[in-house]
Amino acid sequence: MLFVDKHRPSRLSQLNYHDTLTQRLTSLAADPGGLPHLLLYGPSGAGKKTRVMALLREVFGCGAERLRLEKRTFTTPTKRQVEINMIQSNYHIEMAPGDAGLNDRYVIQDVIKEMAANKNIASVVTSKDGNDGEDDGHAKKKAAKASYKVVVLVEVDKLTRQAQAALRRTMEKYSSSCRLILCCNNPSKVIDPVRSRCLGIRVAAPSDDEIASVLKTVSRKENIKLADELAINIARLSSRNLRRALLMLESCYVTTRDESPRELKADTPVPRTDWERYIAMLATGIVKEQSPKSLMAAREKLYELLINCIPAQIILKTLLMELLPVLDDTIKAEVVHWAAFYEHRIALGSKEIFHLEAFIAKFMALYKKYLNDLFG
């Protein structure tokens, strides 16, 4: 099992950063009957899903951790079959309706209607469970008070406007028997009526020191001696993404296990991912040649990255970081300006490839002009 899954905190008390946020969630879990719809937003790898699962465990007890994977098929009004994977327990269901594409609104409506129609079996389960590993009966009593089920929707910012409008109507209609917990990276792409019906909770990215502390804790549990310098280096290279930092730690351990088992020294190299090396190749190509041929080759690389599920914002940011070291200070500010411009366009638009390619074309024009002025 990966470090990121093996050592994922399962209780709110085990979360070791963002203490104020943890206290806020603990206060919400203290009164399960008054739990509102929630909207958790923040960058990838900040810990949104971990906190959601810890909150559900606090409300419903260990029954919320007994998960099963189910593949569901939905039929649209045009008789089209849509398949989607869902993770569920007796108390909640988790899914990414954006995977259904333009049919996401039908998935949302059907799932929430079904959840609202099925009565919460918390009272039945807690009465039959007896001693199921809880510290005391307090969690069982709280689960019995929560007479609703929870629908966890991830990547809500990728839903179509029609799906979000349908979500608003179902939130109002089934609020007594169903609670929604929405997770997204960019809350500006969630429509105002949905945001106004949820309690917004921002989950900020952990700092480098907090990530290094988590890495040291995980390495101690795995009996790995981790140098402080390497922990800080991994934290900085992870761009404040805790999930990525843990994967990098495990990658370092796996690649050096034969040389120095159970010890990671300060000079241990941190392997780069394949997609990062691919973007580095893309940056090298557009710096080397500015021509329609080079732009077409860059388009192919962008398509390859997008179909492998690398987010467009990550592609743009990583490409910019690869380009800046080779640029002269006179054009760095202008390149950063246009990167920010097209990142905003990506957030507003739907065709990400257009804006990525537009940034590369703009960079080529700026860099070509700079070279002509320098040597012309």
Q: What is the mean pLDDT of residues 332-356?
A: 90
How many C-beta neighbours within 10 Å does residue 253 have? 20
Helix, coil or strand: residue 286: helix
Report whether pLDDT(130) > 50. no
Q: What is the mean pLDDT of residues 353-363?
A: 95
- pTM across the whole model: 0.81
Asked if residue 279 lies in contact with residue 315, where contact means CB atoms within 8 angstroms, the answer is yes
When the pLDDT of each residue in the chain is averaged and rounded to a whole number, the result is: 86
pLDDT of residue 195: 92
pLDDT bin (cut points 50, 70, 90) of residue 138 is: low
Amino acid identity for residue 259 in this structure = E
How many C-beta neighbours within 10 Å does residue 181 have? 27
Task: Give residue-wise pLDDT tens across range 229-282.
Answer: 999 999 998 889 999 999 999 988 888 876 667 788 888 888 888 899 999 999
For 100-147, the DSSP string reads GGGGHHHHHHHHHHHHHHSPP-HHHHHHHH-SSS-SSTHHHHHHHH--
Q: What is the mean pLDDT of residues 12-41?
A: 89
Tokens (6 digits) for 100: 């259904």
pLDDT bin (cut points 50, 70, 90) of residue 110 is: confident
Report whether pLDDT(53) > 70. yes
* Beta strand 81-88 pairing with 68-75: antiparallel
pLDDT of residue 126: 45
pLDDT of residue 139: 53
Domains and CATH numbers, the chain: 3-202 (3.40.50.300), 208-264 (1.10.8), 274-375 (1.20.272.10)
Residues, the chain: 376
Read off the DSSP letter of residue 271.
P
pLDDT of residue 129: 47
Helix, coil or strand: residue 308: coil
Helix, coil or strand: residue 212: helix
Task: Give residue-wise pLDDT tens across range 74-90.
Answer: 777 778 888 888 888 88
pLDDT of residue 137: 52
pLDDT of residue 347: 79
pLDDT of residue 177: 81
| H/E run at residue 165 | helix 161-173
pLDDT of residue 309: 84
pLDDT of residue 142: 57
Distances (CA, A) of 301 to 276, 283, 297, 319, 367: 12, 10, 7, 12, 20
The residue among 284 and 111 whose pLDDT is bigger is 284
The residue among 117 and 43 whose pLDDT is bigger is 43
Report whether pLDDT(120) > 50. yes
